[in-house]
Amino acid sequence: MGGDDFGRLSYLVLLGAVVAFWFFVQNRQNLGKTLQQALIWGMIFLGMIAVYGLWPDIRQTVLPSQSVILSQGRIELPRAPDGHYYLSAQVNGAPVRFLVDTGATGIFLSRADAAAAGLDLADLAFIGGAMTANGPVRTAPVRLASISIGDIVDRDVRAFVNEGEMRESLLGMTYLQRFSSVEIRDGALILTR
């Protein structure tokens, strides 16, 4: 700890002691209740410090992140709390979060993700169709310049833009078949090139 850090810490401790002394002098008639309230606020403060210190671990548990092991051409996707697998990729340089869907034949982008990836929504021709859990939807075929996950890059990829509302874009079998191995092990979906 440097001299500046020690000086700041000393100042904060002194300031805290003065505030605590003033608080106890003002409430000396109800000292028992004051101590109880001070203990409650102290516990709240310590709890907030603990949450702040443990936040990276808590976030990894609640929203686990994918890991890309480039040397092995391997992507590990942990199962999300909702039971699905999500993959974050760059589509034409724009970040897109996909729901990995083995029931989908192709790559289906939401309109918002398509716009973020630089596709002009006004130029799309919704001439195709797909059957979803919510019924039939119209789709527009597109070509994506690139989809990249770390150093894994695929170029000139066929995809579709869904005309209806979608919470997440879907990454279906035409993309998953680009991997030599797709397996689920120990709660993770593992994609290997």
Domain ranges of the chain: 3-62, 67-192
pLDDT of res. 76: 86
Rounded Cα distance between 125 and 62, Å, is 39
Longest dimension (CA), the chain: 80
pLDDT of res. 58: 58
Contact 80, 63 (CB under 8 A): yes
Question: Which runs of E-coded beta strand occur in the chain?
Answer: 67-69, 74-78, 86-91, 94-100, 107-109, 128-132, 135-149, 152-162, 169-171, 181-185, 188-192
Q: Does domain 67-192 have CATH number 3.30.420.40?
A: no
- Does the pLDDT of residue 39 top 60, yes or no? yes
Q: 186 Cβ partners below 8 Å, 6+ apart?
A: none
- Does the pLDDT of residue 48 top 80, yes or no? no
Average pLDDT, the chain: 82
Among 14-23, 28-37, 55-64, 174-183, the minimum mean pLDDT is found in 55-64
What predicted TM-score, i.e. pTM, was given to this entire model? 0.64
